[in-house]
Structure 1
Amino acid sequence: MPAADAVRDDDAAGRVYTVLVIGAGFSGIGAAIRLRERGIDDFVVLERGDEVGGTWRDNVYPGVACDVPSLLYSYSFEPRTWSKLYADGAEIQDYILDVVEKRDVRRFVRFGHDVSALRFGDDDGIWRVTTNQGVFRARNVIASYGPLANPALPPIDGLEDFGGEVVHAARWNPDQDLTGKTVAVIGTGSTAVQLIPHLVRQAAKVVVYQRTAGWVLPRYNVDTPPAIARVFAALPILRRLTRSALFRITELSALGLVWNTVLTSVLSLAGKIFLRSQVTDPWLRRLLTPDFRPGCKRMLVSDDYLRALQADNCQLVTWPIARIGESGVMTCEGVEHRADVIICATGYEVTKTSPPIEITGRGGRSLNEEWARGAFAYKSVNVSGYPNLFFTFGPNAGPGHTSALVYMEAQIDYAVELISVMTNRRLTWLDVDPRAQAEFNSELQERLAGTTWNSGGCRSWYLTEDGFNATMYPGFATTFRKMLADIDLHDYVASGDLELAITGRVGGDTMDGRTTDGVDPR
């Protein structure tokens, strides 16, 4: 009998996995690799799509690419010599596929399984995971569905009434033919600056609707010289040193992006100089000059976006959109702009106030309700009241200056270490002490108050509508990694073999029980 069929039989018989991983993108595959390295093979990865890769599988729009140097946008334990400084989406997807085959994790992935709910069993400490193909059971769950999973359409009146085609960039059809058509592009963020130059070369007319201008810096996307590729292959240590140097450079940029410093002014000046060098018309330059500090919103990197906006067949519209009608986009000054196709480069439904699935914890508590005013967690990984549930790309794990994979790996290692501790010491579950969680988030929000995102009138998708920052981490990636490298078990309560219960750091003293009631997690 094939292995896959054996797994199905086990599920039908009520198999309880040691670990269930949700999602087979970068973080889900990374979690699978780390679990195997720790000798944990009793796990399953549930993926709603038909292939691994997550956002890099789904995003195939023209120009899709990484906006941080590719040497940083890869697993530290699986280095690669990339073809360019900034790899395109197809090369990144190929990299993920290569890693999956090399590390033999595909056999753990179940495709076509869309998770809709998690429920913790108070009586047995087991998570029930509801999918479109049945219910799975597991002792531990790693939620690796990622922040860039569910595209968000703009909440504009009349969008459903448009007579042409509405396309979200994250659901691009590679066979899409825009020749001779008038295309409306809503959004001018990271996706739009990659997509618009390609649209201008294909469509008859492109109308770009800008709500706020962004800071744009040059990309300098050079090919990797063959000589460098040969050196990296012969001397892998040089590739590691290059990656380390790039990481240190991006860490330095945090001084100008996370906080308002002299370097912030330097970045602002660099952006204005680049804008002046690319755009000749003074009025257009004024429209493209941001009214916020660098770092408030994600920095944009592009060598051709600003030039594309000046093409004869491209028009920049900065009037707010009033509504969308059957034949086009109506702006608030009363002008209707005809369109054949509307492309929404409007990002994703990032988890700020509710997880994308229903999560029920101890005593029937609902994480969807608890996060209603803004998501929170302990060290971005665990939430009190939801034992043995681990998030990757959890609340306040977002970087504003470097690769998200640096943060992701730290969270994966933290989760796998705790799962190993529970397995080795025969604990049923570990749950965060609510006081430890409250103290952590109180300090976190105090630190956030002094960052660019939470001061100076900054408004961005990083914040909830009432200004709560549930997204970004207020510091260096080095600090984040150090925080997660320190597992303080005094901050957890446990259930299981009390003689083996643990508190203190790994290898520390015996754990003392503490109440889990009556503490505001924020």
Structure 2
Amino acid sequence: MYENPAPRGPTQHRVAIIGSGFSGLGMAIRLKQSGEHDFVVFEKEGGVGGTWRVNHYPGCACDVQSHLYSYSFEPNPRWSRMFAPQPEIKAYLEHCARKYGVLPHLRFNTEIRSARWDEDAALWRITDADGIEHTAKVLISGMGGLSTPAYPDVPGIEHFKGKTFHSQQWDHDFDLTSKRVAVIGTGASAIQFVPQIQPKVARLDLYQRTPPWIVPKPDRAITAAEKTVFENLPFVQTALRAAIYGMLESRALAFSVEPRIMKLAQKMAEAHIRRQVEDPVLRAKLTPDYTMGCKRVLISDDYYPALTQPNVEVITSGIREVRAHSLIDTDGVEREVDAIIFGTGFKATDPVPRGVVYGRDGRDLVDAWPQGPEAYKGAAVAGFPNLFFIMGPNTGLGHNSMVYMIESQIAYVADALKIMDRRRLRSVEVHPAAQKAYNASLQERLQKAIWSVGGCKSWYVHPVSGRNVTLWPGFTWQFRRATRRFDPLAYTLKPAGKPRSLGNARPSTARQPA
């Protein structure tokens, strides 16, 4: 736990960043490196780390190789495994915060409740949970899409007398030993913690709505000799990082370019189930009926073996009702339990709640997204001047490292700030026509991707509009190319002290997702 280096009370800064995960911390480091010191980072938790701080359930680890799931400017030669566990990733981000001198800019235990654009003053008025108002010329959201836990609508859950918690809020003080536990959900978190708790509990009832496709996890310990090589010959680690990137990037062909290729990759997942699950009835329950890739592809070597143990039952009939000490499925079978653990993921398609961000004329950001979140290059939204997103809409990935996408957006926002300085701009705001054309092209490409044609219903898709508002439909190098430089022609630029706009009067409406 850090001491909060910043004093309590109102602050005035040029730039305010919300969140200190990979996005917010990376943006802060970039500002510091560019010579910008007038910024603050608001963090609702007691330290840096974002999702890698608040998610600490048993078995929590990354599903992207460690050497790629890190900042390009700060390689870590001391990773213990090919896929880093949560404590190491959290420690890595804490190290970066210290090394690059951003700790004095952080305000921990400061939750932001609202942010309002003040047109007359050309700044954002930001109110924290204590009612203290802060101001900033530019507001950058590094909150991420996987920060708000999602809970299913389970009838009667309020009557349950046992223990309940979400995987993100794991209660380590509650001893699961010899308890009867119900796990609801079979997503990325559940397949990591289920094998960890299965040997401890008396019984584990796993309520599965839709099974995930799971492939083997090529994980292993990194040897002491390898760590020595990485420390003394850093170009070796750089080469390994590049090789991992190239290998993962090739998978975009099956996800976005030619989804039929995924049928071939699916053979590996089918063989994985056959090897690890001998019981044909259980195997049938665990085999998805959609094409691999339509939902998030997961990696694990111990999930299937855990489900074959005698104290585990996989239940696919759904939950009809929760009572004081039991769950009743839709077949009418009642099972007594001592605890319910939700492994139901996050609200990725609704990342910003209503009543938090207000743009020009007091318009709520949620009202600007009637068909679900959208932005220009995942970074800017029309009607919300001087507001930028890192890991914004349609920047998520199904095939490669999100840190690569984060660094691409950081470069784009940093260049925007540089241009605002150079031209002495009061505000920048993406033109609605540019945002509309960009997203029309994105959605056109997404309609041909595996997430649309794979035959599933996933959390990538907004429940009302049916639009995929989460993922990037292509190669990550295409996104890197599109965000390498800030493109002022797509924006309305207002100079300080003048009411008229600079830039082109008719912003470009070219369809340019990449």
Alignment check: 8 A CA contact 2:152 2:344 kept: yes
Alignment check: 8 A CA contact 2:122 2:137 kept: yes
Alpha-carbon distance in structure 2 between the residues aligned to 1:266 and 1:175: 45
Alignment check: 8 A CA contact 1:149 1:348 kept: yes
Alpha-carbon distance in structure 1 between the residues aligned to 2:454 and 2:129: 46
Alignment check: 8 A CA contact 2:411 2:485 kept: no
Partner of 2:455: 457
Partner of 1:152: 150
Partner of 1:101: 98
Query: Which string of whole-angstrom CA distances, capped at 9 and with x for unpartnered residues, describes residues 237-264 of structure 1?
Result: 1101100110010011122233544531
Partner of 2:70: 74
Partner of 2:81: 84
Deviation at 1:408, TM superposition (A): 1.1
Partner of 2:242: 244
For 1:512, which of 494, 498, 504 is the aligned residue?
A: 504
1:48 and 2:44 correspond = yes
Moved over 4 A (4+): 3-8, 353-357
Note the 1:266-281 alignment, pairs <5 A. Answer: 266-281=264-279
Partner of 2:223: 225
Letter in 2 for 1:397: T
For 2:109, which of 112, 125, 129 is the aligned residue?
A: 112
Deviation at 1:5, TM superposition (A): 8.2
Alpha-carbon distance in structure 2 between the residues aligned to 1:37 and 1:166: 44
Alpha-carbon distance in structure 1 between the residues aligned to 2:246 and 2:312: 39
Q: In structure 2, do the counterparts of structure 1 residues 6 and 438 end up closer, same or farther at CA, with 3 Å as the change threshold?
A: closer
Alignment check: 8 A CA contact 2:413 2:486 kept: no
Alignment check: 8 A CA contact 2:327 2:336 kept: yes
Alpha-carbon distance in structure 1 between the residues aligned to 2:181 and 2:349: 30
Note the 1:282-321 alignment, pairs <5 A. Answer: 282-321=280-319
Partner of 1:506: none
Partner of 1:123: 120
Alignment check: 8 A CA contact 1:120 1:128 kept: yes
Deviation at 1:456, TM superposition (A): 4.1
Query: Which string of whole-angstrom CA distances, capped at 9 and with x for unpartnered residues, describes residues 141-161 of structure 1?
Result: 111111222212211111111
Partner of 1:492: 491
Q: Secondary structure at the match of 2:168?
A: helix
Partner of 1:479: 478
Note the 1:11-410 alignment, pairs <5 A. Answer: 12=10, 15-81=11-77, 82-133=79-130, 134-352=132-350, 354-355=352-353, 358-410=356-408
Q: How many residues align?
A: 502
Q: In structure 2, do the counterparts of structure 1 residues 456 and 264 end up closer, same or farther at CA, with 3 Å as the change threshold?
A: closer
Query: Which string of whole-angstrom CA distances, capped at 9 and with x for unpartnered residues, describes residues 174-210 of structure 1?
Result: 2321111100000111101100011111111111111
Alignment check: 8 A CA contact 2:349 2:459 kept: no
Alpha-carbon distance in structure 1 between the residues aligned to 2:354 and 2:68: 28
Letter in 1 for 2:96: V
Q: In structure 2, do the counterparts of structure 1 residues 268 and 356 end up closer, same or farther at CA, with 3 Å as the change threshold?
A: farther
Alignment check: 8 A CA contact 2:259 2:449 kept: no
Alpha-carbon distance in structure 1 between the residues aligned to 2:351 and 2:170: 27
Letter in 1 for 2:479: F
Letter in 2 for 1:180: S
Q: Secondary structure at the match of 1:495?
A: strand
Deviation at 1:69, TM superposition (A): 0.6
Q: Secondary structure at the match of 2:136?
A: strand
Alignment check: 8 A CA contact 2:160 2:323 kept: yes
Q: Alignment identity in percent?
A: 39
Q: In structure 2, do the counterparts of structure 1 residues 303 and 6 end up closer, same or farther at CA, with 3 Å as the change threshold?
A: closer
Alpha-carbon distance in structure 2 between the residues aligned to 1:79 and 1:349: 31
Query: Which string of whole-angstrom CA distances, capped at 9 and with x for unpartnered residues, describes residues 409-433 of structure 1?
Result: 1111111110121123210110101
Q: What is the TM-score of this pair, normalised by structure 2?
A: 0.94
Alignment check: 8 A CA contact 1:63 1:194 kept: yes
Alpha-carbon distance in structure 1 between the residues aligned to 2:310 and 2:392: 44
Q: In structure 2, do the counterparts of structure 1 residues 256 and 6 end up closer, same or farther at CA, with 3 Å as the change threshold?
A: closer
Letter in 1 for 2:503: M
Letter in 1 for 2:84: A
Q: What is the TM-score of this pair, normalised by structure 1?
A: 0.92
Alpha-carbon distance in structure 1 between the residues aligned to 2:135 and 2:497: 24
Alpha-carbon distance in structure 2 between the residues aligned to 1:235 and 1:126: 47
Letter in 1 for 2:93: I
User: Any stretches of 5+ residues in structure 2 without a counterpart?
Assistant: 509-514
Query: Which string of whole-angstrom CA distances, capped at 9 and with x for unpartnered residues, describes residues 217-245 of structure 1?
Result: 11121011211111111110110110011
Q: Secondary structure at the match of 2:426?
A: strand
Letter in 1 for 2:148: N
Q: Secondary structure at the match of 2:345?
A: coil
Alpha-carbon distance in structure 1 between the residues aligned to 2:467 and 2:228: 48
Alignment check: 8 A CA contact 1:352 1:471 kept: no
Alpha-carbon distance in structure 2 between the residues aligned to 1:98 and 1:5: 16
Letter in 2 for 1:334: G
Alpha-carbon distance in structure 1 between the residues aligned to 2:211 and 2:258: 19
Alignment check: 8 A CA contact 2:5 2:106 kept: no
